[in-house]
Amino acid sequence: MDSSRLTPNTPLFPLETSATHIDIPEGFSMEEVDHFRQQGYVISRGLTEESLRLEMQKVTLEGLGREIGPVEYEADLLYPGAPGSREDRGGRTVRRLKNALCRHPVFAEWLAHPSLVNRLRQLVGPELVVPLAHHNCIMTKQAEFSSDTGWHQDIRYWSFTRPELVSVWLALGTEDQKNGCLHLIPGTHQMTFDRNRFDQDLFLQPDLPENASLIDSKIAAELQPGDVLFFHC
């Protein structure tokens, strides 16, 4: 998230430690940093203050219930399992609430918390900025109509000059394999892929033998409320 790694037209949010937090908590251990470097992800358990998590959850539930825009619906993308249109049954199922940082100050407060900022600096350096154009959102999984997303690398969709970026994923509720938690393929941030291994939407083609063996190494990033997943984009 270093500013030198972003294109000139990318909206940025400078990330500074919140002045309201005096005690600076410890960051990652060296083992955790090494794990991120090698595997491309690391999970910090119980990293989020409960009061912040509950406030973010409250704002999220209100946004879902009232469909407060900007909103992306499952029917807009037509991924496997999604309704065919917004007019179909389940067509108003929300996939994500966009522009999280503009929805309530609590999101910026969480993002500037020392427990988060310290860890990000260990991974990408002292100067941190948040590109508002991507992943500034609240992802949701809802019963029956939430869709399946193919295997992909986020950086393939973005126009950054360098790929050294980190996504931060906070679990507002329990995320497990029963309700659709995120899955990762460790180490793929260090790999390069020929274009013919992807379909037209830049998802890995699972029927290709070289992709199938890679997908077999996936792990489930199961999270409890307040856990934070850091992963390489």
Contact 111, 132 (CB under 8 A): no
Q: Helix, strand, coil proportions of the chain in percent (round to 5)?
A: 30, 15, 50
Domains recognised in the chain with CATH numbers: 3-232 (2.60.120.620)
For residue range 174-206, what is the model confidence (pLDDT) as tens digits? 999 999 999 999 999 999 999 999 999 999 999
Contact 71, 100 (CB under 8 A): no
Calpha distance 211→197 (Å, rounded)? 7
For residue range 204-216, what is the model confidence (pLDDT) as tens digits? 999 999 999 999 9
Whole-model pTM?
0.88
Phi and psi of 95, rounded to 5°? -90, -45
Dump strand ranges (E) for the chain: 12-14, 41-44, 71-73, 94-98, 129-131, 137-139, 166-170, 183-184, 219-220, 228-232
For residue range 84-109, what is the model confidence (pLDDT) as tens digits? 999 999 999 999 999 999 999 999 99
Using the structure block, give the residue that is written with the tokens 């600096």: 121
